[in-house]
Amino acid sequence: MTPRRVFSALWSILPLVISLVAVGAILIPIFLESTPWPVEARNHLEDQGVAESGAQNLVSAVYLGYRAFDTLGETIVLLVAVSGTIGIIARAKGALAKGFDREDKGSPVPAVALAAGTTSLSAPPPRLRRAKTRTDLLEVVTGKLGPVVLVFGFYVMLYGHLSPGGGFQGGVVIASGIVFLALGGKEGASTRLTEAGVLARLEAMAFFFLVLAAFLGMFMGSGFFTNFLAGVGLPSVGFIILLNIIIGLKVGAGIGFMGIAMLSRVEGAKGEEVNHD
Amino acid sequence: MIERIALFVLFLLGFAVIVGHKNVVKKIFGLNIINNAAVILFVLEGAKVGNQAPILTTGAAVAGAAAGSAGGSGGAVAGAVAQMSGEVTPVALAPAAGTVDSACAAIAEASGAGPGAAAGLTGDLAGNVAEGANSLANLGAFSVVDPVPQALMLTAIVIGVCITALALALAFRLYKATGTFDIDEMYRRIHHEP
Amino acid sequence: MILLFLVVLIVLSAYSVFTRDLLHGVIALSAVSLVSALLFYILQAPDVAITEAAVGAGVSTVVFVWAIRSTERKKRQ
Instruction: Give the per-residue pLDDT at A95.
Output: 57
Structural domain range at position B129: 58-140
Mean model confidence pLDDT for chain A = 77
pLDDT tens for each residue of C3-49: 999 999 999 999 999 998 899 999 999 999 999 999 999 999 999 99
Tell which of C3, C5, C17 to mutate to test the B interface (max B CBs under 10 Å): C17
Query: In this complex, is the C-beta atom of B113 within 8 Å of any C-beta atom belonging to chain A?
Result: no
Tell which of B7, B55, B150 to mutate to test the A interface (max A CBs under 10 Å): B55
Query: In this complex, is the C-beta atom of B179 within 8 Å of any C-beta atom belonging to chain A?
Result: no
| Selected residue with higher pLDDT from C57 and A130 | C57
Q: Cα separation of A35 and A116, whole Å?
A: 74
Q: Say whether both B65 and B130 belong to one domain.
A: yes
Set of chain C residues whose Cβ sits within 8 Å of the Cβ of B157: 48, 51-52, 55
Domain presence at residue A261: yes
Query: For residue A187, is it left (φ>0), alpha (ψ between -120 and 50) or beta?
Result: beta
Instruction: Give the per-residue pLDDT at A187.
Output: 58
Query: In this complex, is the C-beta atom of C55 within 8 Å of any C-beta atom belonging to chain B?
Result: yes
Closest chain A residue to the Cα of C51, Cα to Cα: A169
Q: List the single range of A161-170, A195-204, A226-235 with lowest mean pLDDT.
A: A226-235
| Selected residue with higher pLDDT from A32 and C30 | C30
Subunits that touch chain B (at least 3 Cβ pairs < 8 angstroms)? A, C
pLDDT tens for each residue of B20-47: 888 999 999 999 999 999 999 999 998 9
Domain edges within chain C: 2-69
Are residues B55 and A57, on separate chains, in Cβ contact within 8 Å?
Answer: yes
Query: In this complex, is the C-beta atom of C1 within 8 Å of any C-beta atom belonging to chain B?
Result: no
Set of chain B residues whose Cβ sits within 8 Å of the Cβ of C44: 47, 50-54, 145
Query: Is it the case that residue B116 has pLDDT exceeding 50?
Result: no
Which of B140, B158, B173 marks a domain boundary?
A: B140
Instruction: Give the per-residue pLDDT at A191.
Output: 62
Query: Is it the case that residue A121 has pLDDT exceeding 70?
Result: no
Please state the domain count of chain B: 2
pTM of the predicted structure, to 2 decimals: 0.75
Instruction: Give the per-residue pLDDT at A277.
Output: 35
Structural domain range at position A236: 54-275
Q: How far apart are the first and last CA of chain A?
A: 56
Q: List the single range of A54-58, B90-94, B142-146 with lowest mean pLDDT.
A: B90-94
Burial of C62 (0-12, 13-18, 19+ CB in 10 A): buried
Tell which of B39, B163, B170, B184 to mutate to test the C interface (max C CBs under 10 Å): B39
Interface pTM, i.e. ipTM:
0.91
Query: In this complex, is the C-beta atom of C12 within 8 Å of any C-beta atom belonging to chain B?
Result: no
Closest chain B residue to the Cα of C11, Cα to Cα: B10
Query: Is it the case that residue B156 has pLDDT exceeding 90?
Result: yes
Q: What is the mean pLDDT of residues B57-65?
A: 53
Are residues B47 and C14, on separate chains, in Cβ contact within 8 Å?
Answer: no
Closest to B10 measured CA to CA, from C17, C21, C31, C30: C17
Closest chain B residue to the Cα of C46, Cα to Cα: B53
Set of chain C residues whose Cβ sits within 8 Å of the Cβ of B26: 17, 22, 25, 75
Domain presence at residue A236: yes
Shortest distance, CA B148 to any CA of chain C (angstroms): 11
- Nearest beta carbon to residue C16 from set B29, B145, B165: B29
* DSSP-based three-state secondary structure for C75: coil
Q: Say whether both B45 and B102 belong to one domain.
A: no
Instruction: Give the per-residue pLDDT at C67.
Output: 87
Query: In this complex, is the C-beta atom of A253 within 8 Å of any C-beta atom belonging to chain B?
Result: no
Shortest distance, CA B52 to any CA of chain C (angstroms): 6
Set of chain C residues whose Cβ sits within 8 Å of the Cβ of B53: 44-46
Residue C77 DSSP symbol: -
Residue B27 belongs to domain with CATH number = 1.10.287.3510
Please state the domain count of chain A: 1
